[in-house]
Structure 1
């Protein structure tokens, strides 16, 4: 099973910012992250759109969200789906 590129990138970023990680490990993580970005393996727009869609779906099922906000979320989800 292949790993989710977004999760891999998140782990690499955590490694880079961890003060307990060696400089050598930080350099390797930074190189791997750059390789992912250059190869197109990490598509920021695709990841962003997925996060937005999850947030909109969560709003639809949240009882504390107003009906107006749920309607906006529903419309935004439809627009995202049309882009795909």
Structure 2
């Protein structure tokens, strides 16, 4: 099954694409509204996932200081508890 965040990004892109018909934009807008109303798009969950991705990226980035990597590792440990 597709990630709801990715689906929402695709729908938003369809809505803003000037090459899409008004009918396609309306369908995308309606589907996005349904996803929001049904709770498929939990912004808190998405935020937490994005924070974790940022910490993982910091740990593997050679340009990040050791202190920052330690902080990110601790933050990831705290998130997983």
Same fold (TM over 0.5): yes
RMSD between superposed Cα atoms in Å: 1.2
User: Where do 5+ consecutive residues of structure 1 fail to align?
Assistant: none
In structure 1, C-alpha distance between the alignment counterparts of 2:13 and 2:3, rounded to whole Å: 15
Cα deviation, 1:28-59, whole Å, max 9, x if unaligned, reads 10110010010011111111111110110111
In structure 2, C-alpha distance between the alignment counterparts of 1:28 and 1:20, rounded to whole Å: 15
Q: State the TM-score, normalizing by the size of structure 1.
A: 0.87
How much does 1:78 deviate? 2.3
Q: Report the counterpart of residue 54 of structure 2 in structure 1.
A: 55
- Are positions 1:14 and 2:13 aligned together? yes
User: Where do 5+ consecutive residues of structure 2 fail to align?
Assistant: none
Matches within 5 A, 1:21-36: 21-36=20-35
